A and B are shown apart, each in its own frame.
Chain A
Amino acid sequence: MRTELNNEPVNQYFVNVCTLKPRYSEARSGCRSQSPQLPIDKFGCIHAVAQVKMFTIRHVVTKNDLCLSSTVIGGSLAKLAYFSKVSRKRIRYPSSSSNVLDPADELNPPATLNDHDPVVHECSFMNVETEEQAWRLHFINFETKYIETCLDFVKRNFVRGARNMNGKTIKVTGGGAYKYKDLITDKLGFEVSKEDEIQCLIEGCNFLLKNIPDESFMYHRHGDPQYEFMGLPNEPAFPYLLVNIGSGVSILKVESDTTYERIGGTSLGGGSFWGLGSLLTKAKGFDELLELAERGDHRSVDMLVKDIYGGSYDLIGLPGDVIASSFGRAARSPRDASGTQYKEEDIARSLLISISNDIGQIACLNAKLHGIKRIYFGGFFIRCRPITMYTLTFAINYWSKGEIQALFLRHEGYLGAIGAFLKGTQESIDAHKYSWDEHLPGSSGLQHPVMVSFMRQNSSKVDFLELDCLEQPLASCPLLLSTETYSADTWDLAKDAEARDYWISCFERSVNEVAERAAQSQNDQSSAGERADKFKSKYLQKLSDLREQPFTFGSLTVRTLLDTRQQYLDEFQFSDPYLQQRIKDDEEVLQFLPSHLASIDAEEWPERQRIVVQGLLAGTSRRADAREHSCRLTNNASVEETISLLRGRRWLLDDLDAWIARLEGEPHRCAVIFVDSSGFDIIMGIFPFARELLRRGTDVILCTNSKPVMNEVTYSELFILAHNIAAMCDVIGGALAAGRLVVMESGQHSPCLDLSRIDERLVAAMALRGADLVLLEGVSKAVHTNHDARFRCDAIKVAIVDDAWLAGRLGGAAPRTVFSYEPAPPSGPATTDLAAPSVL
């Protein structure tokens, strides 16, 4: 029963809460009370403990504090927000025991940053477990008529006796706040604290635009793909218009987080569609009406230009299908008109089109009046329904002659709930200070509502959204030439059907191996096999959904496929199936390092540079396959063989001479290296390369993932590795001691690298040290992502592409070596101009 909680996908999370209820008291006693003070006290928490054996096998141990935080009750749909605290055990290596200068420590007194790290007196592969707690925000979205069911549910599961709730408040917003105030107080015994709806909407909108990649998109009905995602702007592009289509329509001009104004609106909104639709059709509920509309043909009800002009409409230069009068044909019904001659679906369609079109027109008139070029649409009416988005987009294009952009939000239904949540937490945790990530296994995605059991009797589908609070705020990499135009991913799989098919198939094929490895990594646990099976089926389901609807979670890329897999592994408590493998690899390779370093040092300077670059390539080569899709870590070549291969082989490297020529010039101030795999790659590839840079007087920042991902070297492992290597090599040892070589977290949790979202401390360190060289290695970081990234400083991208298909895409045969040295653009501003972010 305990582990079940985490085995189930999160959309049934709620349900499992019921089954775990008897454990509340026990669970609470096990809870740490370190959490920040919340606006509402904890109503209950769940403690699901899985066994942890030895240090070699680690997985997530989850402990949740579920807190109801806000409710938005609209005229038609209600949203409930609650948050939970997810605790994870994680291995960390001590940082305070050595004289290593961690740049994080350099910028923050260690006492505040790493106070949870116990002091360990010697460096070895010993590790310390720490418990980390992270906020996870949950939102559910359902029809308001189920409000009682929902409140009953909340009462059953969160409220243990109304007595405890006296004096507690819940943030409520939306029109229903007024209407359901008493109901909430009666049922739950809370005080209801009303928040202004529009302010919540705007804060929610700004929050999503700032934090969720690909939150906004344009919809092109005839486009391929139909969804054009807008990435992650660092700041929402103010001023914008937010058109919130709820029961009625509010048009808001937003100039900043705090400056906004309601500049207009119309009473013809979602409520009109729903209300008129209920009168004119037998549809029950909003969704049924929309489904009806999707099947209908408005032309039997609307009077078109061609109905008025006959066949001659082409003479007047008007397209005949333009609607001249909505419902105009219904007015010409014969005397005996009973309305039966019009199909319900045609009526619903005409209603939807006329209302969308009208809203689009009024929004556009308002935008023009205020000189605004960007309109975001929100509110329940849209529901990301293609037909609604299409008519709104059409209207905006038509009335603005293409000058105004119509944008939609993937999570438009949650704006108010998120805003209310932010209000509710303002006093205790400043949500704006954190970065957030969408938790895919617990989110229903675009146009993908799911059935939930607690409302099963009503057979209603419900939308979900979960956001994970990241440990560190993220910021854009300052070394990028342009943060505006940067896009991490090289290929958009939504656009490229062939690539989509290829990669999804690859991931499907590899899932068995991943599941097997996951199960094997915890073979001491009876539940591991079952969890691995669940992981497999859920991930395969997701892949199949993505094949059908690649737009479900924003852009579809190799990166998102990899990251989704990682999230599903985490979800089923396989947070680190590769730990043993990595440690074994590290131990195995490390013994060859001293002789390898000696052999490098025996060479003349130019040859030495050549060898270290080849070392980088050999490293990426050894695990190229392992990473991408087949996940095979077994490379037949032994370490010795690889080393000899490396010595003997001469790759054709276009840019190697240019790089060596560059090395003959001024040394770089500071190199930022985004490292990849553990074992051969990091030890024989990265360290010798870094060592050459250190010798020239260049500082080196080694950046790794914050959390374990496949066979990638983690922060803590790299940390200990650096110390072990320091003991073998004076150059590394000296640099580590002097703080010229540092290990930092990238803030990512992915085999790929999105430079628009990296740890703010790393951003600060780059600025502080005047970073002027960046190195990206591995296919995931240098080909799947960042292949086209341009930097304002020198950049090196290293990879060996073993995949024949991918090599073909790059215009060559596999294996294809990539060693590209891209000098800083001549006019690029000096890196010393970089300003440290103000957060620090």
Chain B
Amino acid sequence: MAQCDDSQSHCNGLAVAGCKGECVLPHMPWFGMDVGGTLAKLVYFEPTDVTEDEEQQEVETLRTIRRYLTGNVAYGSAGIRDVHLQMEGVRLGGRTGTLHFIRFPTSSMRAFIELTKEKKLATLADTICATGGGAYKFEHDFKTEVNLTLQKLDELNSLIQGIHFIDSLYLSECYYWSHPDIRDSEQCKKLPFDFSDPYPYLVVNIGSGVSILAVRSKDEYQRVSGTSLGGGTFLGLCCLLTGCQTYEEAIEMATHGDSTKVDKLVKDIYGGDYERFNLPGHIVASSFGHMLSPEHREDVTKCDLARATLVTITNNIGSIARMTALNQGIDKVVFVGNFLRVNPIAMKLLAYAMEYWSKGQLKALFLEHEGYMGAVGCLLELVKQKLS
């Protein structure tokens, strides 16, 4: 464990038991990282309780990094700071500060490693806590290029710790959609949900793929299901179908599209409701089912295709989540992951599907910081490990 040379200032009178002269808190800067298949998520804790003394003693490198991160909203060609998610006055490891949420495509990881080299991060810390597949994939690169050790943390644990930490900080973190019928958007409202007594619940983490976890208590959780049809599938198919290049573009197109020109509905087949089995006519019977006819193919726009892709993937996730919940005997389903970012269509569809097919028995819940839970969990683990 590293000795604190400037322990007093860094510990800052911290009431950390046992921290007598030998500071066990990690060096600043504090990061948590979650490197998924498509996106890398970085959570940065910026201490706001820095004293003047401290500021003066702060090494140049650290100051540069802090200013670089907090002074920009975009990094390089692809890194973005989600300013609207920023959380202030966060108490962590005895310090008070601001949480910054930054993301960049995993494909830009080389550029990120270059950046850490350029900003001399390795002179300040020797370890970054990271989770996600990228923690394995890029471990070697970090070690050899910038001499940083990636401490690989358990993905599920990070996710769940992240959820509970963020939820405890922010009153309206958890919310649901009331009257989520997509055909009547007037009625649909986003309302806060009290997540203080959450167990048991299901977490559906929609990244490139989908993981489904059943959480029965703080320490009792397991991956119970998942599907390879996730956010990556949505974007991949959209790219192939429409030639779009980014997630934002795909979502934008979907917003203006009409999936019923692409999908075959129950009424397209049966002329109305399939009454015998209580299937209303507006339900999708066959996703992309119209597209096997050349006439229909000529009749659709790229936006329609994007919308149909979104609806198909979302409904499928909803369906698997719902049945997994039933199999597990759980009635609260928390949807997280970056697929839900700027994606109210998907959220409302999920909310509607849960409610409709379960006849109101299941509740679909969402979190404001949807994609960052794993990274937050890593940050917590970094601080916790050093404390213990």
Contact = CB atoms under 8 A, between A and B. Distances in A.
B289 A330 contact: no
19 contacts: A266-B319, A267-B316, A268-B229, A268-B312, A275-B286, A275-B287, A276-B237, A303-B37, A309-B137, A310-B139, A313-B133, A315-B136, A316-B136, A325-B38, A325-B231, A327-B240, A332-B107, A335-B245, A362-B320
Interface in A292-311: 301-303, 305, 307-311
Interface string A176-194: 0011000000000000000
Contact of B289 (A271, A280, A303, A342): A271
Given A266-B316, A358-B229, A365-B323, A325 B237 contact: no
A279 B233 contact: no
Given A268-B316, A328-B236, A309 B243 contact: no
**Which 9 A-B pairs have CB atoms at the shortest separation, nearest pair first?**
A310-B137, A308-B133, A327-B236, A275-B291, A328-B232, A325-B232, A275-B288, A271-B286, A271-B289
A276 to B, nearest CB: 5
A267 B209 contact: no
A247 B266 CA distance: 11
A275 B320 CA distance: 22
Contacts of B139: 310, 312
A175 interface: yes
A347 B241 CA distance: 12
A153 to B, nearest CB: 23
Interface string B258-278: 000011100001110000110
Contact of A272 (B233, B286, B297): B286
A279 B291 contact: yes
B227 interface: yes
Given A75-B292, A276-B291, A361-B225, 18 more contacts: A75-B264, A76-B292, A178-B269, A248-B285, A262-B277, A266-B316, A268-B287, A272-B286, A275-B288, A279-B297, A280-B241, A308-B137, A324-B133, A325-B38, A327-B240, A328-B37, A328-B236, A331-B239
Interface string A236-258: 00000000001110100000000
Contact of A358 (B235, B285, B316): B316
A75 B269 contact: yes
A337 B324 contact: no
A339 interface: yes
B276 A365 contact: no
Contacts of B312: 267-268, 272
Contacts of B239: 330-331, 333, 337, 339
A366 B229 CA distance: 18
Contacts of B297: 278-279
A162 to B, nearest CB: 25
Contacts, number: 213
A338 interface: yes
B326 interface: yes
Interface in A319-348: 323-333, 335, 337-339, 342, 347
Contacts of B232: 303, 324-328, 331
Contact of A337 (B140, B231, B245, B316): B245
B269 A325 contact: no
Choose among A247, A278, A286 the residue with the greatest number of B CB atoms under 10 Å from its CB.
A247
Given A302-B228, A312-B136, A247 B233 contact: no
A521 to B, nearest CB: 53
Determine the main DSSP class of A at the interface with B.
helix
Nearest to B230: A325
Interface of B: 36-38, 105, 107, 132-134, 136-140, 207-209, 225, 227-233, 235-241, 243, 245, 262-264, 269-271, 276-277, 283-292, 294, 297, 305, 312, 315-316, 319-320, 323-324, 326-327
A554 interface: no
B337 to A, nearest CB: 12
Contacts of B134: 308, 310
A303 B137 CA distance: 14
A269 B286 contact: yes
Contacts of B264: 75, 247-248, 271
Contact of B237 (A196, A327, A337, A399): A327
Nearest to B277: A262
A279 B300 CA distance: 11
A75 B262 CA distance: 14
Contacts of B225: 361, 365, 399
Contact of A339 (B209, B235, B240): B240
Nearest to B154: A316
B105 to A, nearest CB: 8
A312 B143 CA distance: 15
Nearest to A364: B323
Given A262-B277, A327-B236, A267 B243 contact: no
Interface in A342-358: 342, 347, 354, 357-358
Contact of B286 (A178, A247, A313, A330): A247
B93 to A, nearest CB: 29
B37 A354 contact: no
A325 B236 contact: yes
Contacts of A309: 133, 136-137
A258 to B, nearest CB: 14
Contact of A326 (B136, B138, B228): B228
Given A279-B288, A308-B37, A332-B38, A365 B237 contact: no
B209 A324 contact: yes
Contact of B287 (A246, A271, A303, A329): A271
Contacts of B319: 264, 266, 362
A357 B292 contact: no
Contacts of A278: 291-292, 294, 297
A266 to B, nearest CB: 6
A305 B133 contact: yes
A357 B138 CA distance: 30
Choose among B107, B208, B225 the residue with the greatest number of A CB atoms under 10 Å from its CB.
B208
A239 B236 CA distance: 40
A132 to B, nearest CB: 41
Contacts of B294: 278
A637 interface: no
A264 B230 CA distance: 21
A174 to B, nearest CB: 9
A337 B277 CA distance: 44
A602 interface: no
A326 B133 contact: no
A195 to B, nearest CB: 11
A310 B243 CA distance: 28
